[in-house]
């Protein structure tokens, strides 16, 4: 079904916001202004955008280490996000969690996570809660191809399968875990064969086309809301930058492969389509871009002006098991 103009504009704006946020994070990181790790989501924007467009605040998502896009698409406050990655007191975790620990329960964003695969059991719990609440809400978990080699992945699939949980598994297959190719690290060459073995409905789609992701996720979420879950959606994609931003880490992926995927940019492809279909003009695109950049400038200014946490607060709000 063709999407209406407003939905197309919303999808474009969200994707562009993620892109511009990540470009700014990149710039600030290499200027030495950010603390901790930053895993760039550039190249994968269509996935968070296309999936989260179907969710309400009551639906809960769980993210992973590459989480900025999921947060933005779920409606997180970019000021508090930016403040968090600057390590400032006004950030989502009072500056003590950094990029990989952004959470906002008020919008159903249960958290990013530095432990590969750890979001899957958390999302299973959120899906059990949604099932018990009986309001038709769903849970979504975003994870990479690398997470599929973790035990928790299989436990979550099994639990979701036996309890028929309203849980959408979104596997962002960017073909690598750090520098290790999925084709080397994963015995099952076709990821969707795994949910298939657990009798979970599944589909693999091209993850750089926001309309394709949006349509596939829409069908999946509709099934979950009717109690016909779980569902597994694999989205084929690629990250543009090395695993995390760093001067030291090497990117061992073949240069030609990286360059070929950059030509499949999800933002540029959608922009070209919107122009060609006459949905937006060049000046419309320019005005959306200006608005997005203004919001990001505002977020950075907020972060820069905010104080660092006080040394005497170092042990407050910090938990250890
Ligand atoms: C349990 C665990 N093992 C290893 C790591 C180190 N590590 C961090 S991210 C990552 C790769 C994850 O790859 P994938 O799940 O495909 O996500 P991507 O980075 O490609 O988005 C690894 C091995 C970790 N954080 N947690
Ligand atoms: Mg990966």
Domains and their CATH numbers in the chain: 5-303 (3.40.50.970)
- Tens-place pLDDT, residues 158-169: 999 999 999 999
Which residue has its alpha carbon closest to ligand 1 atom 6?
116
pLDDT for 320 beyond 90? no
Once rounded to an integer, what is the mean pLDDT over residues 105-134? 97
Instruction: State in Å: Cα 92 to ligand 2 middle.
Output: 26
SS3 for 180? strand
Instruction: Supply the mean pLDDT for the chain.
Output: 97
- Tens-place pLDDT, residues 10-42: 999 999 999 999 999 999 999 999 989 999 999
Which residue has its alpha carbon closest to ligand 1 atom 5?
116
Residues 6 or more apart in contact with residue 18 via CB below 8 angstroms: 41, 45, 48, 49, 68, 69, 72, 73
CA distance 56 to 73: 11
What is the percent of the chain where pLDDT is above 70? Answer: 99
Once rounded to an integer, what is the mean pLDDT over residues 278-296? 98
* Alpha-carbon dihedral angle through residues 76, 235, 280, 258, given to the nearest 10 degrees: 100
SS3 for 72? helix
Which ligand is closest to the CA of 147, given by its number?
A: 1
pLDDT band at 317 (very low <50, low <70, confident <90, very high): confident
Once rounded to an integer, what is the mean pLDDT over residues 93-116? 96
pLDDT for 290 beyond 90? yes
- Tens-place pLDDT, residues 231-282: 999 999 999 999 999 989 999 999 999 999 999 999 999 999 999 999 999 9
Which ligand is closest to the CA of 117, given by its number?
A: 1
SS3 for 35? coil
pLDDT band at 82 (very low <50, low <70, confident <90, very high): very high
> Before 230, cis peptide (omega within 30)?
yes
Once rounded to an integer, what is the mean pLDDT over residues 171-200? 97
In this prediction the pTM is 0.98
Instruction: State in Å: Cα 115 to ligand 1 middle.
Output: 7
- Cβ–ligand 1 distance for 176 under 6 Å, the answer yes
Instruction: State in Å: Cα 68 to ligand 1 middle.
Output: 16
Q: What is the pLDDT of residue 237?
A: 98
Instruction: State in Å: Cα 271 to ligand 1 middle.
Output: 31
pLDDT for 321 beyond 70? no
Which ligand is closest to the CA of 175, given by its number?
A: 2
Q: Give, for ligand 1, the residue of 177, 238, 253 to mutate: max count of ligand atoms closer than 8 Å to Cβ.
A: 177
pLDDT for 319 beyond 90? no
- Cβ–ligand 1 distance for 87 under 6 Å, the answer no
* Alpha-carbon dihedral angle through residues 294, 296, 302, 307, given to the nearest 10 degrees: -160
CA of 173, closest atom in ligand 1: 16
- Cβ–ligand 1 distance for 152 under 6 Å, the answer no
Q: What is the pLDDT of residue 318?
A: 85
80, 23, 72, 81: which is closest to 49 by C-alpha? 72
Which residue has its alpha carbon closest to ligand 1 atom 12?
177
């Amino acid at each position: 079904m063709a999407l209406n103009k407003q939905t197309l504009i919303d999808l474009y704006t969200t994707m562009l916001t993620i892109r511009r946020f990540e470009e700014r994070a990149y710039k600030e990181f290499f200027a030495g202004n950010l603390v901790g790790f930053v895993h760039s989501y550039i190249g994968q924007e269509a996935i968070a955008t296309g999936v989260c467009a179907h969710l309400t605040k009551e639906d809960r998502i769980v993210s992973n280490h590459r989480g900025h896009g999921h947060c933005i698409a779920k409606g997180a406050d970019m000021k508090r996000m930016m403040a968090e990655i600057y390590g400032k007191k006004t950030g989502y975790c009072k500056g003590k969690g950094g990029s990989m620990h952004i959470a906002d329960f008020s919008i159903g964003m249960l958290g990013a996570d530095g432990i590969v695969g750890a979001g899957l059991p958390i999302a299973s719990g959120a899906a059990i809660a949604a099932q018990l609440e009986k309001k038709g809400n769903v849970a979504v978990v975003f994870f990479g191809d690398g997470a599929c080699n973790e035990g928790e992945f299989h436990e979550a699939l099994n639990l979701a399968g036996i309890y028929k949980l309203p849980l959408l598994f979104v596997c962002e297959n960017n073909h690598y875990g750090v520098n290790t190719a999925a084709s080397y690290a994963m015995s099952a060459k076709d990821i969707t064969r795994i949910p298939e073995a657990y009798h979970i409905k599944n589909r693999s789609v091209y993850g750089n086309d926001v309309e394709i992701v949006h349509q596939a996720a829409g069908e999946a979420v509709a099934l979950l809301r009717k109690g016909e879950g779980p569902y597994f959606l694999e989205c084929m994609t690629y990250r543009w930058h090395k695993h995390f931003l760093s001067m030291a880490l090497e990117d061992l992926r073949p240069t030609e492969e990286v360059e070929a995927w950059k030509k499949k940019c999800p933002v540029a492809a959608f922009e070209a389509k919107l122009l060609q279909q006459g949905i937006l003009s060049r000046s419309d695109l320019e005005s959306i871009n200006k608005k997005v950049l203004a919001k990001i400038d505002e977020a950075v200014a907020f972060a820069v002006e905010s104080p660092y946490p006080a040394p005497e607060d170092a042990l407050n709000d910090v938990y250890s098991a």
